[in-house]
Structure 1
Amino acid sequence: MTETDRHKSSGTAQFPSEIRGSLSLFDRAATWADRLVSRAGFFVFCSAIVLIWLPSYFVIKNMDTWQLIINTVTTIVVFLLMALLQNTQKRVDDATQHKLNAIADGLADLMEVVSREYPDLDAEQHELRDAVGLEDRESSE
């Protein structure tokens, strides 16, 4: 049973600080790659490679081979980076959604207490509780 499943079955708000978990080796590598490629130094490095690559035409002397090599290398690098960066983005999106759900759960709990004095809040509180987890219902449809 995952943290999310336990949270949904318990019916109580679980704050992001209460979640403990370790990252897999792949997740740690993806995080490291994200930090590396998002720096200006990586852009400068890539630009330097292109500038060094340009005069290599005179060594290879065949335009088709010259283009094939650079296109193959860039395609492989982009493909691998996209897989790593997609992993990182998915984890960030999941964490953000979890935080939003915790805020909505906390607000719904507060509305439940206040609705004793203001009964008209009861319907809004139920609507908010129904909306928490809506992303799970929408993604399964």
Structure 2
Amino acid sequence: MGSPLVVNSLSGTDVPDQAAGTSPHPDYYVPATILETPVTKAHKPTRSFSDHFATFASKVAWASGSPITSCVALVALLAWGASGPIFHYSPNWQLVINTGTTIVTFMMVFVIQNSQNRDGLAAQIKLDEIIRAVGGAKNSMIDLECLSDDELAELRAKFSEMADEARKDEHKVESAEGRKNTPRSSNGKTRSRARN
């Protein structure tokens, strides 16, 4: 049997087992944090119901945002409107569009929310990896989304204070540079320009 493989948990691709952060391909960097235990090629992880639903939700969310879907919805709406005189604008005719749009909207809430949850989690994992990899970044900033609302509010207040201090420092530097660039007379006072 060949060398064991490691499955990249984010993309599901097989990556040769080797030192963390290295790869035989120079453009493919595999961080140590996303490598799982070695598995053989014959072993395929079983997919749960949530995995199948996530795949379905991603495809539906992608398709619902396409121009073709918008055109199909518009054509269906126009056809429903045009059929009004045929059905004499009856309550059943109105019920068709009300029921159809309610069902579609109700189901799309769950599908789109699942897709958004996955996208948000993937973005958080990428940001966590950047924080972990950057030397000057604070590793305590990893997994901030898991903190309570009070802890997040406290961190936000702390960073707001840091931002205020940084703005004050920038203002001092700009003021100093402005005074430095202003022409001065021999006695040290700022020369006033002659007014018309």
The residue type paired with residue 76 of structure 1 is I
1:27 and 1:87 in contact (8 A); partners too: yes
The residue type paired with residue 127 of structure 2 is L
CA–CA distance in structure 2, aligned partners of residues 15 and 53 of structure 1 = 54
Q: Are residues 1:64 and 2:80 paired?
A: no
Identical positions, percent: 25
CA–CA distance in structure 1, aligned partners of residues 80 and 33 of structure 2 = 48
Q: CA deviation at 1:40?
A: 0.4
CA–CA distance in structure 1, aligned partners of residues 95 and 88 of structure 2 = 13
The residue type paired with residue 131 of structure 1 is M
CA–CA distance in structure 1, aligned partners of residues 150 and 35 of structure 2 = 24
CA–CA distance in structure 2, aligned partners of residues 101 and 16 of structure 1 = 13
TM-score by length of 2: 0.50
Q: CA deviation at 1:140?
A: 9.8
Q: CA deviation at 1:131?
A: 1.8
CA–CA distance in structure 2, aligned partners of residues 84 and 17 of structure 1 = 29
What are the within-5 Å matches in structure 2 for residues 31-42 of structure 1?
Answer: 31-42=58-69
Query: Which of 132, 138, 141 lines up with 1:131 in the alignment?
Result: 141
Gaps of 5+ in 2: 1-8, 10-20, 22-29, 37-44, 152-196
TM-score by length of 1: 0.67
Query: Which of 106, 125, 138 lines up with 1:98 in the alignment?
Result: 125
Paired residue total: 113
Q: CA deviation at 1:138?
A: 2.8
CA–CA distance in structure 1, aligned partners of residues 127 and 97 of structure 2 = 44
Matched with 1:18 is 34
Going from structure 1 to structure 2, the CA distance change for 1:19 and 1:83 (only over 3 Å counts) comes to: farther
Larger Rg: 2
The residue type paired with residue 71 of structure 1 is N
Q: CA deviation at 1:30?
A: 0.5
CA–CA distance in structure 1, aligned partners of residues 147 and 80 of structure 2 = 50
Q: Larger helix proportion, structure 1 or 2?
A: 1
Q: Are residues 1:87 and 2:114 paired?
A: yes
Cα RMSD, aligned residues only: 3.0
CA–CA distance in structure 2, aligned partners of residues 133 and 39 of structure 1 = 33
The residue type paired with residue 39 of structure 1 is S
CA–CA distance in structure 2, aligned partners of residues 59 and 32 of structure 1 = 37
- Which structure has the higher relative contact order (CA within 8 Å, separation 6+)? 1
Q: CA deviation at 1:139?
A: 6.3
* Partner-residue secondary structure (3-state), 1:57: coil
Matched with 2:159 is none
Q: CA deviation at 1:54?
A: 0.7
